[in-house]
Structure 1
Amino acid sequence: MRLVFAGTPAVAVPSLRALASGPHEIVAVVTRDDAPLGRKRVLTPSPVAQAAEDLGLPIIKADRLDADVTARIAELEPELGVIVAYGGLVREPLLSTPAHGWINLHFSLLPRWRGAAPVQRALMAGDAVTGASVFQLVAALDAGDVFAEERYEVPVGATSATVLDDLAEIGAPLLARVVDGIADGSATATAQQGEPTLAPKLTLDDGALDLTRDAESLLHQIAGVTPEPGAHTTLDGARFKVLRAAPADAPPLPPGRVAASGKDVVVGTGTTPLRLDTVQPAGKGAMNASDWFRGLRTDEPELGA
C-alpha cells in the first residue's frame, strides 16, 4: 500500500523504521516544524524528520494538519494513514483522504488512558500493567475500534521515559502487522470494551509533591512525571526537584522532614519515609542526595517549606 506516516518524537521512530523496512511505500512523512532546542535555541528537526531524512523519505513539516497539508497529502493518493505521536489532530477531510483512513499506535490498553499522556497517567495511577494498542482513528478522542494490542508489565523502578521507550519498541512490529493485515484484507477491528479513562497532557502542577500523601502514591507520581515535567517540592521557598527516590527502611518522620538514616537520606511522608537518591536544588545541577545533604548548614531541612 501507499502510506503516509505522521509522527514527531523519538518514540515514533521505531514504527517509521519498521514500516520503511516492509513491503509498503511511504509516500510522505508528516512531522512538526523544527523546534528551538538547548540553551542557544538552535532550530532542530524532530527525531522523526531526522530518521525520515536518513531513510530518504519525502518530508512534510507542519505544526497543524490544515487545508494546505491536506491538499498535499491528497495529491499523493495514500491508501492508509499511520500516526504515532504526531502531536496534532487529524480532522475531516484529511481523516477520510486515504482509502483505508488512518490508524494510530497508542501507548495504552484502550479505552484506558485516552489522551496525550497515557504512559505518564498510567504510572501516576500505579498501574502494574499497560500496553500498546493499534486502532482506527475516528473524530472522537482515541475512541476507534482496536485492531491489535499488546500488554506490558511495568518494571519496578520504571519511569515514563523508560516505559515509553519500551512501548515504542513493542509497538513498532505490532503496528507493522496491522498494516500488513489491512493490505491483505485479514485485519479486523473490534469496539473498545470498558469504561474510558482520560490522560490529559501533564502540566507543571502535576509534578508538585504533597509530602503529606502516602509514600506509595508519591513514588507513583514521581515515576509518572519523570523526566517531564519533573517531580518537585520546595526548600526555603525555592523549587527543589526530586529526580529519583525509592522506598526507605527507616523510622517514621514528619512529612517533609529530611534526615540521615544510615548511609541513606530519607524524607518523611504521610506514611513511611522515602529514600532520596538524586535531587536538584534550585540553581544547581542534579546530584546525589547524600552529597547534597552533607553540604547543608542545618541538620533538619524541611521540604515543602
Structure 2
Amino acid sequence: MRILFAGTPDVAVASLRLLAQAGGDIEVVGVLTRPDAPQGRGRKLAPSPVKVAAQELGIPVLDKNPRDPGFLEDLTAFGAQAAAVVAYGNILSAQVLAAMPQGWYNLHFSLLPQWRGAAPVQRAIWSGDTLTGVTVFRITEGMDEGPILAQSTTEIGAHETSGELFARLAEDGGHLLCSAMELVAQGRAVLVPQEPGAFEVAAKIRTDDARIRFDVPVFAADRQIRACTPEPGAWCMVHSSASEADAAGVKLHVDEARPVDDVSTVPADVAQQLAQGKPGALVTSKKHVWVCTRTQPLELLRVKPQGKRSMPAADWARGAHLTPEAYCD
C-alpha cells in the first residue's frame, strides 16, 4: 500500500523513519509537512524536522499549506492510498480527507477519548495521571473523535517531564503506527467507535499558563513544572529582596525541581526556615535552593536565568545576591 506521511516536529520523526524502513505491504511515497518557518535569533527560514528526515531518506516532500492553490492536485499526485499522521499541525478539510481512498490515520499521544486536543502529554502530567499511552485512529472532521484502530498503554514516571514522556511515546507510537498501517494495507483493520461521554480536552499550554504557582500543595507545583518542561518552560519571577525597588523581579525558568517529601532530610535550621516561610519564600544553603509552597517545600535543582544557560540552582543562587526576604511568584 502506498502511504503518505504527514508530520512536522521532532516527535514525528521516529514514526516516519520506522514506516520508511517497514517494507512489506507499506511504501512511503511522499511526506506532507508544514512550510519552512523562521527560527532562532536571526529568524531565518528553516525546514521542519520531518522535512529534514524525509530529505535524508530520499522521500519527496510537499510543504504547502492545505489552503494554498494547487495543494490538492500536488497531494493526489503522490498516488497514495492512505495517510499516516503524527503532529502535522494543520486541520484537514473534508475534501482533503476524501483524497485518500483508505483514509487518514493519526497517532495521538493519549488514550482516547481522554485528552483530545493539542497538549495531551502535558495535560496528563499536570492532572496527575499515572497511566497514559498512544492511540491510532481514523481521522474524521471532529477533533480527535474518529474510530480507534489501535492503542497501547504506559505508566507515567513519578518525576518524568513532558519532554521525557514524549520521547518514550514517540518511539512506542511509531511501532504501533507501523502495525496499524500494516492492518490497513492487509484489509484487516477493525475500527472501534470511541466511547461516548464528556472527557477532558487537552488545551494548548501557553507561556502565561506556565508561570509557577507556589500557593498550592507541593505536588501541584511539581506537576506544573514537569508538564511545562521543556515547552513552553515553567517560570517564575524572583524578587531578591522585599524592597519596592525589587518589586518587578527577574524572570527565572525552572528546568528541574523535586518535592521534599521528608523535611527531616534537610538541616534543622533550614527546616525551621522552611516551616516559617510563606508560599514562594526562598531558602538557600551552599548546595541547595528550596521554595516554600502551601505544604512541603520544593527543591530547585536546575534553573535558567534570563539570557543565560541552564545551570544548577545552587550556582545561580550564589550569584543572585538573594537576601533572607527573597521570594518568587
Normalising by the smaller structure, the TM-score range is over 0.9
Q: Structure 1 CA distance, aligned partners of 2:108 and 2:20?
A: 19
The answer to whether residue 130 in structure 2 is matched with residue 128 in structure 1 is yes
SS of aligned partner of 2:216: coil
Counterpart of 2:168 in structure 1: which amino acid?
D
Q: Structure 2 CA distance, aligned partners of 1:54 and 1:76?
A: 18
Q: Which residue of 2 aligns with 1:243?
A: 255
Contact 2:210 2:232 in 1 (8 A): yes
* Structure 1 residues 2 and 14: alpha-carbon distance in aligned structure 2, compared to 1, 3 A threshold: same
SS of aligned partner of 1:291: helix
* Structure 1 residues 239 and 64: alpha-carbon distance in aligned structure 2, compared to 1, 3 A threshold: farther
Which of these two proteins has the greater Rg computed from alpha carbons? 2
* Structure 1 residues 173 and 269: alpha-carbon distance in aligned structure 2, compared to 1, 3 A threshold: same
Q: Structure 2 CA distance, aligned partners of 1:239 and 1:264?
A: 19
Q: Structure 2 CA distance, aligned partners of 1:242 and 1:128?
A: 23
Q: Which residue of 2 aligns with 1:265?
A: 289
* Structure 1 residues 29 and 296: alpha-carbon distance in aligned structure 2, compared to 1, 3 A threshold: closer
Q: Which residue of 1 aligns with 2:205?
A: 202
The answer to whether residue 319 in structure 2 is matched with residue 295 in structure 1 is yes
Q: Structure 2 CA distance, aligned partners of 1:222 and 1:14?
A: 26
Q: Which residue of 2 aligns with 1:218?
A: 221
Q: Aligned-pair distance for 1:203?
A: 0.8
Q: Aligned-pair distance for 1:293?
A: 1.8
Q: Aligned-pair distance for 1:262?
A: 7.7
Q: Aligned-pair distance for 1:116?
A: 1.1
SS of aligned partner of 1:202: coil
Counterpart of 2:279 in structure 1: which amino acid?
P
Q: TM-score, normalised by structure 2?
A: 0.88
Q: Which residue of 2 aligns with 1:141?
A: 143
Q: Aligned-pair distance for 1:261?
A: 5.7
Q: Which residue of 2 aligns with 1:40?
A: 42
* Structure 1 residues 291 and 262: alpha-carbon distance in aligned structure 2, compared to 1, 3 A threshold: closer
CA-based RMSD of the aligned residues comes to: 1.6
Q: Structure 2 CA distance, aligned partners of 1:300 and 1:285?
A: 26
Alignment of 1:46-65 (within 5 A): 46-64=48-66
SS of aligned partner of 2:116: coil
Q: Aligned-pair distance for 1:67?
A: 5.2
How far does the alpha carbon of each residue in 1:232-291 deviate from its partner, in whole angstroms, 9 at most, with x for none?
Answer: 111232322211100124333310111136842110011111001111233433221111
Q: Structure 2 CA distance, aligned partners of 1:104 and 1:231?
A: 29
Q: Which residue of 1 aligns with 2:19?
A: 19
Q: Structure 1 CA distance, aligned partners of 2:38 and 2:46?
A: 6
SS of aligned partner of 1:150: strand
SS of aligned partner of 1:13: helix
Q: Which residue of 1 aligns with 2:103?
A: 101
Q: Structure 2 CA distance, aligned partners of 1:181 and 1:296?
A: 58
Q: Aligned-pair distance for 1:292?
A: 1.8
Of the three residues 112, 115, 128, the one matched with 1:113 is: 115
SS of aligned partner of 2:327: coil
Deviates more, 1:128-137 or 1:194-203: 194-203
Gaps of 5+ in 2: 240-247, 264-270
Q: Which residue of 1 aligns with 2:162?
A: 160
Deviates more, 1:35-44 or 1:15-24: 35-44
Q: Which residue of 1 aligns with 2:243?
A: none
Q: Aligned-pair distance for 1:36?
A: 2.1
Contact 1:83 1:103 in 2 (8 A): yes
Contact 2:111 2:151 in 1 (8 A): yes
Contact 2:212 2:235 in 1 (8 A): yes
Deviates more, 1:74-83 or 1:210-219: 74-83
Contact 2:237 2:251 in 1 (8 A): yes
SS of aligned partner of 1:72: helix
* Number of aligned positions between the proteins: 304
Q: TM-score, normalised by structure 1?
A: 0.95
Q: Aligned-pair distance for 1:86?
A: 0.6
Gaps of 5+ in 1: none
Q: Structure 2 CA distance, aligned partners of 1:285 and 1:94?
A: 44
Q: Which residue of 2 aligns with 1:286?
A: 310
SS of aligned partner of 1:32: coil
Q: Aligned-pair distance for 1:183?
A: 1.1
Counterpart of 1:191 in structure 2: which amino acid?
P
